[in-house]
Structure 1
Amino acid sequence: MAQSGQFSFAFIKATEGKNYKDAYFQENWRGTKEQNILRGAYHFYSDYRTGIEQANNYISVVPKEAGMLPPVLDLEVSGNDHSMMLRELNRFINRLQQHYGVKPIIYTDHDRYTEYIQGNFANYTIWIRDVYTPVQWNKVQNWSFWQYNNRGHVPGVSGYVDMNVFSRPQKELAALVL
């Protein structure tokens, strides 16, 4: 596990779809706590399962703990039926909000932001993934996190690590915790 110091926060993959549970989640969750790194967990959303099924998968893995960052919806896919996709995203988000008592953070790229998030989730914290092209900031509202690199290196972690920044003062990051 990486040591803290220059890192303020970490988001750890927990689940994907209806059944997938990341094999390293528990180890990474424990390790970030031991290093006193502010932590949260994310769910990689699938358009092949209902929002409730996916939310229940996440809830079964990620404990509700004081001091953790809000749950994260990782939206990188588009559904064939736009209205059905929006309905299921709402169900997923509402289920997590009901369980954890906070609004989830929405992680997405610019295309999915324009397609699903903009105009539908105005009061949610947005985390934009854009590692290949300049972000069109004038078209993204409420963004707080930005993934600027998907090939970062962190001492103590083998392989690539996504690198992110938080756009607001540190006290606002601390205010997000449960």
Structure 2
Amino acid sequence: MAKKPTPARRRVLAALLLVAVVAAGLGWWKARTWLPDREDYPVQGVWLSDDDGAVDWRLLRAAGADFVYLTASEGTGTRDSRFAENLEAARARGMQVGAVHAYDLCAPADAQAANFVTVVPRDKDLLPPAIALDIDSRTCPEAPGEAQMQSELTTFLNQVERHAEKPAILMVSRGLEKRYHLAAMIDRNIWVSQDYLEPGYAGRPWVMWTATDRLRLNAARGPLRWVVVQP
């Protein structure tokens, strides 16, 4: 028969359990409030989409957002009807603004470019357009081969960059980069993503980094994606 823990041992176990609970709570709180150091990354901002809902632009600016990227369009048919409204609201708070297109690997490049330029005005003061690239089995169950993917993406970039009159930024996920090696194949600035630690999966220097997608601020109802610029 197993011996019952002595009172002293029970106190030790209880203390260890308390330490573990406190550490977990601190870790959870830190994940929700962590921001990259301003001394390391002087320029910081946020990437927003429809899913983030209404935003208090005053509080967002006060939290340290120097710029915002707004998801303007996705694939061939999804558009942010509030893009123009949010663009003006962010600018009214002194923030620079850029537009994001969520690229669909299975959709025609021409139609995706048309979707983007329908939403995003030709405005020299906008930041370079950003193209979010990921492998999504929901919208593209059979991702194209490398040659086809690069050909379609090049067509898309040519049309979007002609509209924006500046080169785009490629926002490449780890999974997509592993499969297609875009950072080495297409000469564009790179935007990478990884919580808390600088990622190296692009294989070359990045210009923008989504440093956390868990940040909680009073400016929005849910977690936000916080982005820094390489100094």
Greater relative contact order (CA < 8 Å, ≥ 6 in sequence): 2
Most deviating of 90-99 and 73-82: 73-82
Within-5 A mapping of 1:51-62: 51-62=109-120
Q: Counterpart of 1:77?
A: 135
Structure 2, unaligned runs of 5 or more: 1-55, 137-142
How many angstroms apart in 2 are the aligned matches of 1:45 and 1:138?
20
Task: Identify which of 3, 6, 15 aligns with 2:73.
Answer: 15
Equivalents in 1 of 2:94, 2:215: separation in Å?
21
Deviations 1:88-138 (A, max 9, x none): 11111111111211110111112322424132113x111001238x44427
Query: Structure 2 length as normaliser, TM-score?
Result: 0.66
TM-score where L is the length of structure 1: 0.84
Q: Is the 2:133–2:170 Cα contact (8 Å) retained in structure 1?
A: yes
Aligned length: 166
Q: CA deviation at 1:140?
A: 2.6
The equivalent residue for 2:186 is: 121
For the residues of structure 2 that align with 1:155 and 1:111, how far apart are their CA atoms?
32
Of 113, 116, 121, the match for 1:63: 121
Alignment equivalent of 2:169, drawn from 94, 102, 105? 105
Residue 2 of structure 1 contacts residue 154 of structure 1 at CA under 8 Å; is this kept in 2?
no
CA contact (8 A) 1:52 1:91 kept: yes
Larger radius of gyration: 2
2:225 to 162, 172, 178: 162
Gaps of 5+ in 1: 169-178
The 8 Å contact of residues 144 and 167 in structure 1, kept in 2 or not, is answered as: yes
Moved more, 80-89 or 113-122: 113-122
Shift of 1:150: 0.8
Q: What corresponds to 1:2 in structure 2? A: 57
Whether the 8 Å CA contact 1:86–1:116 is kept in 2: the answer is no
Other structure's SS at 1:73 match: strand
Deviation of 1:162 (Å): 0.4
Counterparts of residues 146-161 of structure 1 (less than 5 Å): 146-161=209-224
Higher fraction of helix = 2
In 2, are the aligned partners of 1:8 and 1:38 still within 8 Å (CA)?
yes
How many Å apart are 1:73 and its aligned residue? Answer: 0.6
SS of alignment partner, residue 154 of structure 1: coil
1:131 equivalent in alignment to 2:195: yes
The answer to whether the 8 Å contact 1:45/1:77 transfers is: no
Query: Which whole-Å CA distance do the structure 1 matches of 2:123 and 2:144 have between them?
Result: 36
What is the rounded CA distance, in whole Å, between the counterparts of 1:19 and 1:138 in structure 2? 31
CA 1:126–1:65: 2 relative to 1, 3 Å? same
Please give the secondary structure, in 1, of the residue aligned with 2:57: coil
Select the residue among 144, 147, 152 that pairs with 2:207: 144
